[in-house]
Amino acid sequence: MHIFSPPSMSLRFVPVWRRNLLVWRKLAVPSILGNLADPLIYVLGLGYGLGSMLPEVGGVPYIAFLAAGMVCSSTMNSATFEAMYSAFSRMHVQHTWDAIMNAPVDLDDVVLAELAWAASKSVLSGVAILAVVWLLGLSGSVLSLWVIALLPLIGLTFGALALAVTAMARSYDFFMYYFTLLVTPMNLLCGVFFPVEQLPAAFQAVAAFLPLTHAVAIARPLLLGQIPPDAVLHALVLLAYAAAGFYAATVLFRRRLLK
């Protein structure tokens, strides 16, 4: 197999995905609560605290504006953490991948399984926030159900990008660069906390290239009961990031582990 050949995709990833699911099931309740606590504090703290001092943002109360941002951002964070810290532990610390590759499962299958798992776990986080948003009455539209279909795409996008980073990591410290250089800027520039239009033109231009912008651009109208303009275009941008990230991750893992 050439190092640059396209990832081989097969259902052999399923048992590896199930392995991660079995581990997660043992810690499911603390894991969900842990994933929920952080974004919930943001929604409530910023939404009610900051929101009470603000006029309407984008034509709605601030907390309703913030909801879509937090759904996207916490889905991104969940996929990112899983594909970086947890996948790195399995690959580098526990040597779980080595054990799996002695069975009739290839590295490509393992990478696909990690991507699918990171996306699955992030969907759970996203759905948990979404449930809170509904319970708080921040979105009453039937259209908001479509966000559930968007969550896997967000998970695949950020899971794939994070896996490419993991493939290059020598230690956990390496992940700080990705958080500092990409995750934090995305959380602040991509319309999670305030409309992108509030930023200077140069920042807006940067934001237009960042994947989280496109996730928020689909989720926010849906939660507010509108059909998102250019939804297909935004989805294609996310899909392109997911495909590029997955391909890069596959090539980088092959270079690292099959040498």
Partner 1 sequence: MAVLAARNLRKSYGGAEVVAGVSFAIAPGECFGLLGPNGAGKTTTLRLCLGLTDPDHGSIELMQRPVPGEARPARARVGVVPQMDNLDPDFTVGENLLVYGRYFGLSEGAIRARIPQLLDFAGLSARAASQIQTLSGGMKRRLTLARALINDPDLIFMDEPTTGLDPQARHLIWERLKQLLAGGKTIVLTTHFMEEAERLCARLAIMDRGRFITEGSPRELILRHIEPHVVEAHGDGVMDWSDREAGKLASRLEKSGETVFCYAADPAPLLSSLANQGELRYLHRPANLEDVFLKLTGRELRD
Contacting positions for partner 1 (CB under 8 A): 1, 12, 15-16, 18-19, 22-23, 26, 94-96, 98-106, 258-259
Which residue, 68 or 100, has its beta carbon nearer to partner 1? 100
Nearest approach, Cβ of residue 242 and partner 1 (Å): 26
Nearest approach, Cβ of residue 3 and partner 1 (Å): 10
Distance CA 85, CA 172 (A): 7
Nearest approach, Cβ of residue 96 and partner 1 (Å): 6
Distance CA 251, CA 7 (A): 8
Which residue, 15 or 49, has its beta carbon nearer to partner 1? 15
Nearest approach, Cβ of residue 120 and partner 1 (Å): 17
Cα 63 to Cα 47, 74, 194, distances in angstroms: 4, 16, 11
Amino acid letter, residue 43: V
Nearest approach, Cβ of residue 30 and partner 1 (Å): 14
Distance CA 114, CA 109 (A): 9
Nearest Cα residue to 106 out of 7, 249, 247, 252: 7
Which residue, 21 or 145, has its beta carbon nearer to partner 1? 21
Which residue, 94 or 141, has its beta carbon nearer to partner 1? 94
Which residue, 87 or 153, has its beta carbon nearer to partner 1? 87
The answer to whether 87 touches 224, Cβ cutoff 8 Å, is no
Distance CA 71, CA 33 (A): 15
DSSP string, 131-149: HHHHHTTS---GGGGHHHH
Nearest approach, Cβ of residue 259 and partner 1 (Å): 6
Residue 60 bridge partners (DSSP): 57
Nearest approach, Cβ of residue 10 and partner 1 (Å): 10
Which residue, 54 or 103, has its beta carbon nearer to partner 1? 103
Alpha-helical segments (H) within 82-168: 87-88, 96-101, 107-135, 146-168
Which residue, 57 or 109, has its beta carbon nearer to partner 1? 109
Three-class DSSP category at 193: coil
Buried b (16+ CB within 10 A) or exposed e, 196-211: beebeeeeeeebeebb
The answer to whether 69 touches 193, Cβ cutoff 8 Å, is yes
